């Protein structure tokens, strides 16, 4: 069984010299809302307004490659939407997960295209399937579903068979 | 080798001139060189591509949504359908992710057979890529040669999994069943002759002046652009970035194998061709090592509540029958948590993000597919170049549309 560090205090205590944790702490320590070390994966929850800055901070620490952006719908919990960013480092050979929690009413977060241009398609996908808006995205259109589609299929209140 | 004179990169027309000079051309979704249903909207000035944007989603089947309504073990056959050229990579990545959630140790033999079959899958995928890429360029013959060898690989898959393409052979906790007795001999006899076949393809293409001229200095992508645009796999390594998850973040006991990661500094379509050809040779070496050092032992983890019991035990032992019944009817609960598992597929970094809420059905499954991200780099590679080069560039990033649209 691997070690689990369930809250921010224990991660900051045990993993203080982890490059990503140190980078966020040195940049703006109150932007880190929560942290978790589970199954050898580090998850850092960032305040909603700070994601672009946090992206630049971890990029400076060597996490240079954005692998994936996706969302999880935690209906009926609040905050409802979780946006996960998976970032891998070509030099440290390690992966971290940044996380932003969004409220149900008009979920939106700043686009991280200024940090990693490859987020473009991923943010469009999340917008299309979850209805989360990315502020500052140059081309926020549907990518999978037809343009005229209504609803966002990967939301938990959208039935698997679709609306009949 | 023929001499090649570089086409100068042509500038896009000025804003005031472009309005009446350019035309918008629709390429696809049924264009033969788009490998499926990729639609490209091109703005061209004569023969020069000014702007290009891919329209995707024609194959969107909502696999991620479907996964949420299935038990964990029922998702495995869905993962095959994402990428018809490398089903085993999808199986492997999903199984590794769920095994990571369960913290389930996998027997050595299962891990080694997984490596062996992953590399055979890589050969299978690269053979189709080579055949179709050469065919797009105009060299029709190679297709017949590569499909001859691909048929051998598919026969091996059929032998081991009972299916040629949608194998579903890797299961959560190991393999579906023990590989048949003559499996290892079949693989051995296949890879014994395969390096000669690679030489044969190389003879047909590497010195072919038409092929060389169509590929060299086409589709330039710098290392910085490749990283910024999310390009992975052979196109990334052909831009000089030495990164391969098999070596750098090993999974499924890849750390026990000796192999080189081919790279190239050419940054063009030709570099990607050379890298893939070299990767095929390295795959053969990995398969040989897997055959030589294949450990003995079981191919399924010792976890009766997760792994289906043997057929014989299920029929004769009450306990196994109960476990079988419970797994099939109720599934198995997976501890709550979220994991991301990345593997190096034929096309680049594949990743499965599995979120569990502690029930028997995954709360969320997300696939990070390499083609999806690589497609973003298409415009960068094609802009300012000839229309005919678009076909070569699409071939060089090796798109599979099922993987992009999911």
Percentage of chain A exceeding pLDDT 70: 98
The per-residue pLDDT of chain A, averaged, comes to 87
Residue B118: predicted pLDDT? 92
Dihedrals phi, psi of B42, to nearest 5 degrees: -115, 135
B363: closest chain A residue by CA: A72
A150, part of any domain: no
Nearest CA in chain B to A3: B103
Q: How far is CA B191 from CA A23, B11, B85, in A?
A: 48, 48, 19
Rounded Cα–Cα distance for residues B165 and A104 (Å):
42
Which site among B231, B366, B405 would you substitute to test the A interface, given the most A Cβ atoms closer than 10 Å to its Cβ? B366
Out of A67-81, A132-146, B26-40, pick the least confident. B26-40
- What was the pLDDT predicted at B8? 45
In a domain, A13, yes or no: yes
For residue B31, being part of any structural domain is answered with no
The residue with greater pLDDT, A7 or B132, is: B132
In a domain, B32, yes or no: no
**Which among B372, B349, B364, B237 is positioned nearest to A88, based on CA atoms?**
B349
A18 close to B (CB below 8 A): no
Residues of A in contact with B342 (CB under 8 A): 67, 88, 95
Question: Is residue A160 predicted with pLDDT exceeding 90?
Answer: no
- Does A105 fall in a domain? yes
* Angle, CA B293 vertex, CA B291 and CA B297 arms, to 5°: 100
pLDDT in the model for residue B10: 47
Residue A154, chain B, CB below 8 Å: the answer is: yes
Give the pLDDT score at B32.
67
Q: Is residue A22 situated within a structural domain?
A: yes
**Candidates A95, A121, A154; nearest CB to B342:** A95
Q: Does residue A48 lie within any of the structural domains? A: yes
Structure tokens at B351: 């990743």
Q: Which value does ipTM take for this structure?
A: 0.91
Please count the residues of chain B.
Answer: 406
Domain coverage including residue B222: 63-405
Q: Is residue B167 part of a domain?
A: yes
Cβ burial, residue B64 (10 Å; 0-12/13-18/19+): buried
CATH number of residue B371's parent domain: 1.10.645.10
Judging contacts by C-beta atoms under 8 Å, the chain B residues touching residue A117 are: 228-229, 376
Locate the chain A residue with the closest alpha carbon to B369. Answer: A68
Say if strands A94-102 and A81-89 run parallel, antiparallel, or are unpaired.
antiparallel
pLDDT computed for residue B7 by the predictor:
44
- B353 contacts in A (CB within 8 Å)? 68, 70, 84, 86
Band (pLDDT 50/70/90 cuts) for residue A87 is very high
A27 within domain boundaries: yes
- C-alpha distances in angstroms, A124 versus A13, A120, A128, A143, B217? 37, 6, 6, 6, 32
pLDDT in tens, B313-334: 888 999 999 999 999 999 888 9
Any CB–CB contact under 8 A between A62 and chain B? no
User: Which of A67, A122, A153 has the CB atom closest to B349's CB atom?
Assistant: A67
Q: What's the total number of domains in chain A?
A: 1
Q: Is residue A158 part of a domain?
A: no
Report the 10 Å Cβ neighbour count for A94.
19
Contacts of B62 in chain A (CB under 8 A): 153
Per-residue confidence (pLDDT) for residue B116, from 0 to 100:
92
Number of A:B CB contacts under 8 A?
94
**A94 lies in some domain:** yes
Q: Which residues of chain B have pLDDT under 70?
A: 1-20, 32-34
Considering its fold, how many domains does chain B have in total?
1
- Within 10 A of B390 (CB to CB), how many other CB atoms are there? 23
Which residues in chain B have their CB less than 8 angstroms from residue A65's CB? 227, 230
0.80 surpassed by pTM: yes
Kindly determine whether residue A86 and residue B366, on different chains, have CB atoms separated by under 8 Å: no
Q: Which helix (H) or strand (E) holds A86?
A: strand A81-89
**CATH no. for residue A84?**
3.30.460.80
- The whole-angstrom separation of Cα B150 and Cα B141 is 15
Q: A43 to chain B: nearest residue by CA? A: B338
For position A8, what pLDDT does the model report?
77
When CB atoms are compared, the residue of A1, A65, A121 closest to B227 is: A65
CB contact under 8 Å between B68 and A160, yes or no, is yes
Domain of residue A69, residue span: 8-115
Say which of A72, A143, A154 has its CB closest to residue B65: A154
Q: Pick from B57, B64, B337: which is nearest to A39 by CB?
A: B337
- Neighboring chain A residues of B249 at a CB cutoff of 8 Å: 88, 93-95
Residue A92 phi/psi, 5° resolution? -80, -15
B367: enclosing H helix or E strand: strand B364-368
Choose among B299, B271, B250: nearest CA to B112: B299
Task: With CA atoms as reference, report the closest residue to B363 among B323, B333, B343, B404.
Answer: B333
CB within 8 Å of chain B, chain A residues 75-134? 84, 86, 88, 90, 93-95, 97, 116-118, 120-122, 129
Establish if B226 belongs to a structural domain.
yes
Q: Are B370 and B318 in contact (CB under 8 A)?
A: no
pLDDT attached to residue B36: 73
CB contact under 8 A, A86 and B353: yes
- pLDDT for the residue numbered B14: 55
């Amino acid at each position: 069984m691997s070690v689990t560090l369930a809250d921010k205090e224990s991660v900051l205590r045990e993993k203080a010299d982890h490059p990503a944790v140190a980078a966020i702490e040195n940049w703006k320590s109150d932007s880190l809302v929560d942290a978790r070390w589970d199954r050898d994966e580090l998850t850092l929850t960032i305040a909603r307004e700070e994601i672009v800055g946090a992206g630049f901070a971890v990029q400076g620490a060597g996490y240079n490659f954005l692998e994936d952006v996706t969302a999880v719908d935690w209906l009926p919990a609040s905050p409802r939407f979780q946006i996960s960013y998976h970032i891998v480092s070509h030099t440290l050979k390690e992966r971290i997960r940044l996380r932003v929690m969004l409220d149900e009413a008009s979920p939106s977060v700043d686009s991280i295209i200024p940090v990693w241009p490859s987020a473009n398609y991923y943010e469009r996908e999340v917008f299309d399937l979850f209805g989360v808006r990315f502020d500052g995205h140059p081309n926020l259109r549907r990518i999978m579903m037809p343009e005229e589609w209504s609803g966002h299929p990967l939301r938990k209140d959208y039935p698997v068979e679709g609306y009949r | 080798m023929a001499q090649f004179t570089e086409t100068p990169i042509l500038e896009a027309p000025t804003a005031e001139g472009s309005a009446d000079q350019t035309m918008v051309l629709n390429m696809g979704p049924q264009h033969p060189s788009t490998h499926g249903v990729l639609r490209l909207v091109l703005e061209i000035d004569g023969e020069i591509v000014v702007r290009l944007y891919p329209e995707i989603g024609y194959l969107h089947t909502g696999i991620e949504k479907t996964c949420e309504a299935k038990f964990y073990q029922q998702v495995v056959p869905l993962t095959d359908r994402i990428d018809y050229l490398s089903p085993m990579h999808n199986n492997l990545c999903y199984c590794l992710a769920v095994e990571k959630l369960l913290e389930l140790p996998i027997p050595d033999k299962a891990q080694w057979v997984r490596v062996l079959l992953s590399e055979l899958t890589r050969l299978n995928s690269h053979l189709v890529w080579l055949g179709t890429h050469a065919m797009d360029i105009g060299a029709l013959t190679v297709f017949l040669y590569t499909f001859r060898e691909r048929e051998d690989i598919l026969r091996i898959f059929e032998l081991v999994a009972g299916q040629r393409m949608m194998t579903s052979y890797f299961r959560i906790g190991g393999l579906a069943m023990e590989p048949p007795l003559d499996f290892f001999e079949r693989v051995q006899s296949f890879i014994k002759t395969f390096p000669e076949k690679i030489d044969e393809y190389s003879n047909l293409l590497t010195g072919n002046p038409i092929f060389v001229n169509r590929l060299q200095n086409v589709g330039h992508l710098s290392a910085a652009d490749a990283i910024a645009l999310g390009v992975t796999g052979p196109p990334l390594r052909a831009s000089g970035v030495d990164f391969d998850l098999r070596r750098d973040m090993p999974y499924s006991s890849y750390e026990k194998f000796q192999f080189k990661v081919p790279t190239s500094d050419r940054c063009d379509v030709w570099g990607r061709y050379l890298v893939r050809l070299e990767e095929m040779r390295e795959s053969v070496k990995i398969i040989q090592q897997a055959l030589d050092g294949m450990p003995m032992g079981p191919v399924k983890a010792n976890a009766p509540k997760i792994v289906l019991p043997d057929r014989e035990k299920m029929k004769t032992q009450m306990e196994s029958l109960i476990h079988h019944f419970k797994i099939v009817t109720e599934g198995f609960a997976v501890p709550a948590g979220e994991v991301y598992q990345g593997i190096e597929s034929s096309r680049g970094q594949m990743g499965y993000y599995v979120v569990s809420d502690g029930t028997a059905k995954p709360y969320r499954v997300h696939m990070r597919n390499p083609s999806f991200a690589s497609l973003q780099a298409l415009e960068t590679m094609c802009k300012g170049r000839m229309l005919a080069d678009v076909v070569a560039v699409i071939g060089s990033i090796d798109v599979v549309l099922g993987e992009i649209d999911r």
